[in-house]
Amino acid sequence: MILYKYVSYRTALQIIESNTIGFSSIDDVNDPFECTYFNFYDADEENIRSLYGYKNRFSRHYVLLSLTRNPLNTLMWAHYGDSHQGVVIGIDCDIAGFMDVEKSRIPAHLGEVIYTSNKPKPEKKSSLVNELMSIGNDIKFKSDTSNLLRKAFLYKSIEWGYEEEVRVVKDLKYHIGSSHDEDVEFENKSGVWIRKNISSLGRPIFCFKLPKNSIKEVYFGRHVYRNTSRTKLVSDELSEKFNHLCLSKNIKIYQCEVDPYSWNLLSREKTHE
**Burial of 219: CB neighbours in 10 Å, binned 0-12, 13-18, 19+:** buried
Please compute the mean of the pLDDT values over residues 204-211 and round it to a whole number: 93
Percent of the chain with pLDDT over 90: 53
Work out the mean pLDDT of the chain and round it to a whole number.
84
- pLDDT at 216 > cutoff 70: yes
- Output the pLDDT for position 114: 94
- Residue by residue, DSSP assigns 96-159 as HTTT-TTT-SB-GGG-BPEEESSPPPP--GGGTHHHHHTTTS-SS--GGGHHHHHHHHSEEEGG
- Output the pLDDT for position 3: 99
Residue pLDDT, tens place only, 50-94: 666 666 777 778 899 999 999 999 999 999 999 999 999 999 999
| Least confident piece of the model among 16-20, 128-132, 185-189 | 128-132
Domain total in the chain: 1
- Output the pLDDT for position 253: 97
- Output the pLDDT for position 30: 86
- Output the pLDDT for position 35: 76
2-7 β-sheet, strand order: 165-171, 62-68, 2-7, 87-92, 215-220, 252-258, 265-270
Please compute the mean of the pLDDT values over residues 95-104 and round it to a whole number: 95
Instruction: Write out the residue range of the structural domain in which residue 125 sits.
Output: 2-270
- Output the pLDDT for position 199: 66
Pick from 188, 221, 196: nearest CA to 14: 196
Please compute the mean of the pLDDT values over residues 208-216 and round it to a whole number: 97
- Output the pLDDT for position 173: 76
- pLDDT at 262 > cutoff 80: yes
